[in-house]
Amino acid sequence: MLCLTLTGSTLEEDRSLVIRNRKWISLVELRVDFLLPEEQRKASLFPSMVDLPVILTLRRVCDGGRCTMGEKQRLQMLYDIAKGDFSYVDIEEDVKKAELKFKEAGTETKIDFENLLRMRNIRIIRSYHDFEKVPADIYGHISKLAAKGDIAKIAVTPKSMIDVISLFKVQQELKSIKDKIIIGMGDFGVCTRILYKKCGSLLSFCTDGTQQLPAPGQLCAQVMSELYRSDKLDEHTHIYGIIGNPVHHTSSPLIHNPGFEAIHYNAVYVPFLVDSVRAFFKLAEMIQIHGFSVTVPHKRNVQPYLGRITREVKQIGACNTVTRIQNMWKGTNTDYYGFLAPIANQLAQGTIHTALVIGAGGASRAIIWALHNRGVKVTVINRSLEHAQSIASETMSTVDSLENCSHYSGKVDLIVQTTSVGMTPNEEGDPVPALRFSGKEIVYELIYHPRETVFLKRAKSAGCRVIEGRDMLMEQGKLQFEAFTGYHYPHWINPKI
C-alpha cells in the first residue's frame, strides 16, 4: 500500500491532495499538526470527506512534527479527533497507558482510549522515530511496539549501507510480526521506501510532490507508483539498481523502469546510495539483486568482488555494469560500446582517423580505449597534463594542454567533450572557447544536462554533426538493459531523461 501523507493547512486542501493523487494511493495519513488551529478542531470530519482509509496523526516536534502543545493537551486533542471515522490512530511509543485515560463531559468514569479504539476496530499504530540513526536494538524495539497486537512503526535514519542492511533484515528476523511499518529516512533510506515490501513493511509513505516534505527522503506518489511500481512488486520481482555516491541525480531509473514495464518484465530498478561497496554486495546477496549499474565513485571499487570481467573492463580499469551469472558477479563496461554506437557507421566506413578528446577523467578512459581499439589516432587535451599522461601512454595517444586547443581547429575528424565544464548549474561554461570548428568534424558531448551545452551549440552553428550526451546515455543504458534482461530495449518508448 502507498500512503499519501497530507500536509495541507486546511482540510479542503488535504482533500484536493487526495483527489490529485487518488489513482496512485491506497490510504492517507492526516497530519493534524500541519493544519491551522481552526481546522484542527474540525479534523474529525475528514474521513467523511474522502473515500480512502485515513490514519490520524498529531505529531510532536521531537518526532519531526509541528505540534507544540503540552503533552496532556495534545493527547486530549487526539482523543477528541479520533471520534471521527478513522481507520488507524498513530500513538507514539513512549506515551504511557495512564496518559491515555480520558473523562467524557458529564461523567466521572475514565475511558481507556486504547480499548475504545480496539472496540471500534480502529487499529493503533505504535510509532518510534529516530532522525539521527538506526538504533542498535532495532528488532527488540519493533517486537516491543507490536507486543499488544498493534501495528509497530519505526521511522529511523540509516547513515550507511550497513544500517540499510539492518532494515532489510527486519523481515527475516521478525517474520512472525505481520503488521509492521518500516521506514528508512534520509538519502540512504530511499531504497527501503521503494522496496518497502522487502523490509516486511505494510506500507510506504509518499508525498504529493508539490507539498513540503513531511519526512526526509520521501518520494512523491506518482514516482513511487508509476516509475517504481512499488505497490505492485512481489516475491518474484527481479531487483536491479544503480550504486553511487551521490546517486539521487541519476537518470538511469527513468530508462530501465519504463523499459521493464513496456516488455512486461517483472523487475524494478532502484537507486542505492552506497558508501561501502563491500556492504552493498552483502545486501545484493541478501535480497537477491540480479544486476546493477555502477557510477562515480565505485567504477573501480567493485572490481575485487567480480568473478569475471570483460577485456574492456580490464583495459579501462572501470566497470559500469554488474550482472549475476551462475552465482558469480560479472563486470562489463557499456560506456565503451554505448559511446561507439552513435558513430558506428563512420567507424565502419573508415571516415574517422583522428580524434581530439577533451578531458582525462573517469569518463574519458572508456572513450579513449574505445577509439584506440578502433584504430583512431587520439589526442587528449586536459587542464592538467599529468592526469592525462597515464591513459595516453597506455593507449599510445598524444597529450596536450587545454590552452593549446586552438591548434586542433579543423585538424581532426572527431571531437569528444568529456569534462564537466558547461554542466547544469554552470551552463555558461565552455572548456575550449578558442577551439574553432570547420563544420566537417563530428562533435560529441557527454554532458546531458543541459541537453545542448554552449560547446555543442557552437559546433552546431558551425555546421558540424553533433551527438548529444543523451545519445550516449541512452545507448549505454540500452546495452545494460540487454545485459540485465536478455531482451532488446523496447524501441517504441522514449524515456523522459
The residues that are catalytic are 299
**What minimum distance in Å lies between the beta carbon of 160 and ligand ATR?**
24
Q: What is the three-state SS of the chain?
A: CEEEEECCCCHHHHHHHHHHHHHHCCEEEEEHHHCCHHHHCCHHHHHHHCCCCEEEECCEHHHCCCECCCHHHHHHHHHHHCCCCCCEEEEECCCCHHHHEEECCCCCCEEEHHHHHHHCCCEEEEEEECCCCCCCCHHHHHHHHHCCCCEEEEEECCCCHHHHHHHHCHHHHCCCCCCEEEEECHHHHHHHHHCCCCCCCCCEEEECCCCCCCCCCCCEHHHHHHHCCHHHCCCCCEEEEEEECCCCCCCHHHHHHHHHHHCCCCEEEEEEECCCHHHHHHHHHHCCEEEEEECCCCCCCCHHHCCEECHHHHHHCCCCEEEEECCEEEEECHHHHHHHHHHHHHHHHCCCCEEEEECCCHHHHHHHHHHHHCCCEEEEEECCHHHHHHHHHHCCCEEEEHHHHHHHCCCCCEEEECCCCCCCCCCCCCCCCCCCCCCCCEEEECCCCCCCCHHHHHHHHCCCEEECHHHHHHHHHHHHHHHHHCCCCCCCCCCCC
Instruction: Return the residues of window 266-325 that contact ligand ATR according to CB under 6 A.
Output: 296
Choose between 166 and 364: whose C-beta lies nearer to ligand ATR. Answer: 364
Site for ligand ATR in 19-38 (CB under 6 A): none
Judge whether 217 and 193 are in contact, CB under 8 Å: yes
CB of 418 to ligand ATR, least distance (A): 6
Q: Residues touching ligand ATR: how many (CB under 6 A)?
A: 17
Q: Minimum CB separation from ligand ATR for residue 495, in Å?
A: 21
Note whether 397 and 380 are within 8 A (CB).
Answer: yes
Task: Supply the minimum distance, in Å, between the C-beta of residue 279 and ligand ATR.
Answer: 23
Residue 322 or 363 with smaller CB distance to ligand ATR? 363
Cβ-based nearer residue to ligand ATR, 7 or 295: 295
Report yes or no: 19 and 11 within 8 Å, Cβ to Cβ: no
Site for ligand ATR in 421-480 (CB under 6 A): 421, 431
**Residue 244 interacting with ligand ATR (CB under 6 A):** no
Choice between 181 and 405, CB closer to ligand ATR: 405
In whole angstroms, the minimum distance from the beta carbon of 2 to ligand ATR comes to 35
> Which residue's CB is nearer to ligand ATR, number 232 or number 249?
249
The residue among 25 and 318 lying less far from ligand ATR, judged by its C-beta, is: 318
Q: Residue 108 carries which side chain, given as an amino acid letter?
A: E
The nearest distance, CB 461 to ligand ATR, in angstroms, is 22
Q: Least distance in Å: CB of 293 to ligand ATR?
A: 14
Greatest CA span in the chain, whole angstroms?
Answer: 95
Give me the 320-359 binding string for ligand ATR, x by CB under 6 A, dash otherwise.
Answer: ---------------------------------------x
Closest residue to ligand ATR using C-beta atoms? 361
Residue 391 CB, shortest distance to ligand ATR, in Å, is 10
- Per CB under 6 A, contacts with ligand ATR among 361-420 are 361-364, 382-384, 387, 402, 418-420
Residues that bind ligand ATR (CB under 6 A): 296, 359-364, 382-384, 387, 402, 418-421, 431
